[in-house]
């Protein structure tokens, strides 16, 4: 009797461990997916910053020259 109760208790504990481990695995998979998305977003952000920096350094001098041209053009009228 006592052995059967103990065995039933052990089986119940083992089943609970399986459920907990399955939940843990699902949480780990979800965390890995979230981390993957975060890494992709970080890469995309770095790309956007790079594009913005290039645009700034290539477009800014032309914009400044255009503004100076307009100012000088207005000064001579």
Q: Please write the tens of the pLDDT for every residue from 12-27.
A: 999 999 999 999 999 9
| pLDDT at residue 75 is higher than 90 | no
Average pLDDT, the chain: 92
Q: What is the predicted pLDDT for the residue at 76?
A: 73
Cβ atoms within 10 Å of 11's Cβ, excluding its own: 10
Q: How many residues does the chain have?
A: 77
Side-chain-side CA neighbours of residue 37 (13 Å): 6
Q: What share of the chain is helix, strand, coil (3-state, %, to 5)?
A: 95, 0, 5
CA distance 54 to 44: 15
The string of pLDDT tens digits covering residues 48-65 is 999 999 988 999 899 999
DSSP class of 54: H
pLDDT band at 73 (very low <50, low <70, confident <90, very high): confident
């Amino acid at each position: 009797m006592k052995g059967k109760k103990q065995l039933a208790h052990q089986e119940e504990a083992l089943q609970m461990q399986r459920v907990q481990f399955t939940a843990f695995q699902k949480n780990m998979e979800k965390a890995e997916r979230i981390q993957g998305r975060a890494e992709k977003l970080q890469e995309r952000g770095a790309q956007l910053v790079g594009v913005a920096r290039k645009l700034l350094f290539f477009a800014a001098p032309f914009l400044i020259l255009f503004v100076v041209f307009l100012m000088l053009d207005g000064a001579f009228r």
